């Protein structure tokens, strides 16, 4: 390509121009478009990143630092969700068997004239909602899904003319209900990083006192059920009175017991975190029909009902924690992937701007040499 052709490529004007004007135009835009020709990619070019080289370099460094943070948070959540998942899966058989035992004892008591306070079904006038949320954010739509479930249930109770009160567990739920003075809140509770029986007993005592004193006629537990690493469902479980079906049911009588558990192992593949999944069907065996209880069924039921409350609340806390950690792991993984894509886009723009600047400087040198010829 001759010098005159290079000159025409830069200016798109007549070759008879002043040197200063040529230098100024090539510095602004070394590859300008024709003034009267509409390009079909004009809209696409307007959406591209247009910054200086220094600004692009700063943005690339910022994205790299953000990627390091999200990658670290993903690894921390993945390590913690393993422990939380083991607690959930190991505790499910005991919880389901306990409910079956209580159901069998309750069936025997139906034939006798015995009243157990926590199994009495009264006409429902007021409902207590125990809403379990997380303590932190950066976990996708985990907390929002649970709070939407609670708002939907509150609207349903309001439409049918029932009163309600809320027992909020978790910082996100506490802050949410504090901003809504029209929602009656009985108590705000905060738990630690991993739920314990002591924290579950504190919630169970409050629920027990509300139900026995007949301040509420029904207690519902709202939590996020852990299904797998990529799926969790907000559910509503009827906690009190004890279900007559011998299973954990929701407000509509639908069983919310897990029918399938997912085990996974954390591995590395090509230097990156990988997950291997294995699904196992949960085995549920009923009690023997000829089982006999030596003690009085009333005494057994009175001893097991506090254990039932504590166990069901602890199970809900563990399920919610496992769901929160899996949601955070997935959210941080998506954020890391987005950071990688954004870094590639910024690097392409940075290289394009750098190449355009170098090309413009070369064209200025060639145009200056052409002017002296």
Cite the active site residues.
Answer: 139
Please classify residue 289 by burial: count the beta carbons closer than 10 Å to its beta carbon, then call 0-12 exposed, 13-18 middle and 19+ buried.
exposed
With a CB cutoff of 8 Å and minimum separation 6, the contacts of 45 are 39
Output b/e per residue, 202-216; b: 16+ Cβ within 10 A: bbbebbbebbeeeeb
With a CB cutoff of 8 Å and minimum separation 6, the contacts of 318 are 84, 87, 88, 91, 195
Structural Rg of the chain based on CA atoms = 33
Q: How far is CA 271 from CA 72, 267, 274, in A?
A: 14, 10, 9
Task: Dig out the tokens for 199 from the structure.
Answer: 């924290």
Residue pair 239/314 in contact by the 8 Å Cβ criterion: no
* Helices within the chain (DSSP H only): 3-11, 19-28, 42-46, 53-110, 142-159, 171-178, 197-212, 297-372
Task: Dig out the tokens for 207 from the structure.
Answer: 């629920």
Q: How far apart are CA 46 and CA 50, in angstroms?
A: 8
Q: How far apart are CA 59 and CA 62, in angstroms?
A: 5
Report the interhelical angle of 142-159 vs 171-178 (nearest 10°).
50
With a CB cutoff of 8 Å and minimum separation 6, the contacts of 53 are 350, 353, 354, 357
What's the distance, CA 185 to chain centroid? 25
What dihedral angle (degrees, nearest 10) is formed by the CA atoms of 197, 203, 207, 210?
Answer: 140
Q: How far apart are CA 19 and CA 171, in angstroms?
A: 68
Residue pair 280/292 in contact by the 8 Å Cβ criterion: no
């Amino acid at each position: 390509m001759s010098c005159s052709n290079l000159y025409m490529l830069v200016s798109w004007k007549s070759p008879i121009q002043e040197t200063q004007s040529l230098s100024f135009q090539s510095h602004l835009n070394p590859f300008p478009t024709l003034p009267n020709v509409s390009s079909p990619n004009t809209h696409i070019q307007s959406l591209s990143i247009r910054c200086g080289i220094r600004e692009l370099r700063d943005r690339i460094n910022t994205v790299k630092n953000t990627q390091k943070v999200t990658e670290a948070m993903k690894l921390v959540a993945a390590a913690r969700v393993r422990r939380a998942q083991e607690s959930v899966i190991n505790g499910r058989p005991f919880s389901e068997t306990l409910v079956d035992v209580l159901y069998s004892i309750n069936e025997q008591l139906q034939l006798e004239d015995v009243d157990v306070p926590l199994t009495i079904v009264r006409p429902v006038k007021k409902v207590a909602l125990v809403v379990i949320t997380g303590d932190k954010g950066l976990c996708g739509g985990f907390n929002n899904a649970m709070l939407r479930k609670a708002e939907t249930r509150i609207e349903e109770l309001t439409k049918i003319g029932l009163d309600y009160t809320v027992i909020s567990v978790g910082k996100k739920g506490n802050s949410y209900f504090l901003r809504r003075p029209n929602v009656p809140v009985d108590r705000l509770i905060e738990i630690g990083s991993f739920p314990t029986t002591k924290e579950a007993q504190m919630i169970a005592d409050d629920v027990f006192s509300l139900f026995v004193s007949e301040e509420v006629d029904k207690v519902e537990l709202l939590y996020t059920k852990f299904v797998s690493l990529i799926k969790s469902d907000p559910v509503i479980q009827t906690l009190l009175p004890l279900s007559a079906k011998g299973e954990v049911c929701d407000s509509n009588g639908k069983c919310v017991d897990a029918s399938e558990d997912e085990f996974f192992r954390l591995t590395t593949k090509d230097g990156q975190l990988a997950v291997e999944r294995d699904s196992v069907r949960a085995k549920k065996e009923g009690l023997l029909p000829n089982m006999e209880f030596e003690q009085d069924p009333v005494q057994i039921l009175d001893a097991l009902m506090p254990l039932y409350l504590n166990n069901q609340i602890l199970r809900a806390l563990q399920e919610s924690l496992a769901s929160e950690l899996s949601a955070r792991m997935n959210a941080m993984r998506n954020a890391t992937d987005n950071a990688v894509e954004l870094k590639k886009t910024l690097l392409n723009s940075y290289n394009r701007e750098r190449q355009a600047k170098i090309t413009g400087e070369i064209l200025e040198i060639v145009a200056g040499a052409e002017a002296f010829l």
